[in-house]
Amino acid sequence: MTAKTIDGKAAAAELRKRVAKQVSELRANYDVQPGLAAILVGDDPASQVYIRNKERQTEEVGMASVGRRLPAETSEGALLSIIEELNHDPTVHGILVQLPLPKQIKSEAVISAISAEKDVDGFHPMNVAALSNGKDGLVPCTPMGCAMLLKDQIGDLTGKEALIIGRSNIVGKPMAQLLLAENCTVTIAHSRTRDLDQKCRNADIVVAAVGIPKLVKGDWIKPGATLIDVGINRVSKNDGTTSYRLVGDIDYEEAVQAAGAITPVPGGVGPMTIACLLQNTLAACKRQTILRD
């Protein structure tokens, strides 16, 4: 059996289309334009690419994009002042600070300084609490995108055995909350987990968010399982040049022979992450404007 490839690019394009339609209705009916402020501190090349993509897609769906580029030596105090200003700016409904931050700035302080209702990355402690308590809040974009892909693929997830590999605050833990809310039986694995291969063989759903190229092997996969590969790893092309290619945390070539469906890397989870950021910005804007009591 060869697995179906889950097309994250197409799913993300669909989601962006739905967001764009709602943005245009908001602008026409309420004269409200959602605004997203994206802050980049320093000049890390990968972060520059991410932030440019986010800004371009923000504009493409009809939202306002407010870019802030700050030098690498920016102090924590200076960044917090800018966030405070954006918290009070009524044209900005979502604020994101691209991580990682330079060493002199504590990311926890920055995340907590963003107003919870503008925290479109879903990392603020109030949004973390809302997710774990099953209340309305803003959900981290990557796990939100993974959950959407899984529901598109499988439909009702009730009773499924889900294995999440990785327990980070931005992917693994919120992913577990989302799948619990969908009535999955959730196992969270991490670097100290024993017999990971056995746990994998028991899973109807595997979400791999580790950062180790091809950690999950083909013979770990339960036949017909649905696999979501969050990992983005650069590996050398081994062609005598310095060029590289991207691979996931799952050995795609092996796993595709056993699984029922699998996300590719690239073209799987990545595109959904930015589309979910736009979805969160739209939701935040509605709550701050037309849905406010």
Print burial letters for 242-260: b (CB count within 10 Å at least 16), e (below 16).
eeeeebbbbbbebbbebbb
- Give the C-alpha separation, 100 to 84, whole Å: 20
- Token digits for 220? 């770990």
Question: Taking CB under 6 A as the rule, does residue 153 contact ligand NDP?
Answer: no
For ligand NDP, the binding residue among 142, 153, 177, 280 (CB under 6 A) is 142
Residues numbered 201-240 forming contacts with ligand NDP, rule: CB under 6 A: 209-212, 230-233
Q: Which of 55, 8, 15, 6 is nearest to 35 (CA)?
A: 55
Considering the complex, state which of residue 258 and residue 272 has its C-beta at the smaller distance from ligand NDP: 272
| Residue 148 CB-density burial (10 A; 0-12 exposed, 13-18 middle, 19+ buried) | buried
For ligand NDP, the binding residue among 95, 147, 170, 228 (CB under 6 A) is 170
- Kindly give the pairing relationship between strand 226-229 and strand 205-208: parallel
For ligand NDP, the binding residue among 66, 189, 206, 284 (CB under 6 A) is 189
Annotation marks residue 121 as catalytic: yes
Annotation marks residue 33 as catalytic: no
Q: Whose CB is nearest to ligand NDP?
A: 168
Sole residue written with tokens 């799913």:
11
Question: Taking CB under 6 A as the rule, does residue 150 contact ligand NDP?
Answer: no
Q: Which of 3, 6, 80, 47 is nearest to 228 (CA)?
A: 6
Residue 183 DSSP SS3: coil
Annotation marks residue 22 as catalytic: no
Shortest CB 102 distance to ligand NDP, Å: 18
Considering the complex, state which of residue 63 and residue 232 has its C-beta at the smaller distance from ligand NDP: 232
Only segment of 69-77, 156-164, 191-199, 234-242 that touches ligand NDP (CB under 6 A): 191-199
Q: Which of 57, 98, 177, 288 is catalytic?
A: 98
Question: Taking CB under 6 A as the rule, does residue 140 contact ligand NDP?
Answer: no
Question: Taking CB under 6 A as the rule, does residue 144 contact ligand NDP?
Answer: no
Question: Taking CB under 6 A as the rule, does residue 101 contact ligand NDP?
Answer: no
Q: Which of 57, 118, 119, 121 is catalytic?
A: 121
For ligand NDP, the binding residue among 78, 116, 126, 196 (CB under 6 A) is 196
| Residue 206 CB-density burial (10 A; 0-12 exposed, 13-18 middle, 19+ buried) | buried
Beta bridge partners of 189: 165
Sign of the Cα pseudo-torsion (121, 126, 128, 130, in order): negative
Where do contacts with ligand NDP occur on this chain (CB under 6 A)? 142, 165-168, 170-172, 189-193, 196, 209-212, 230-233, 269-270, 273
Cite the active site residues: 54, 98, 121
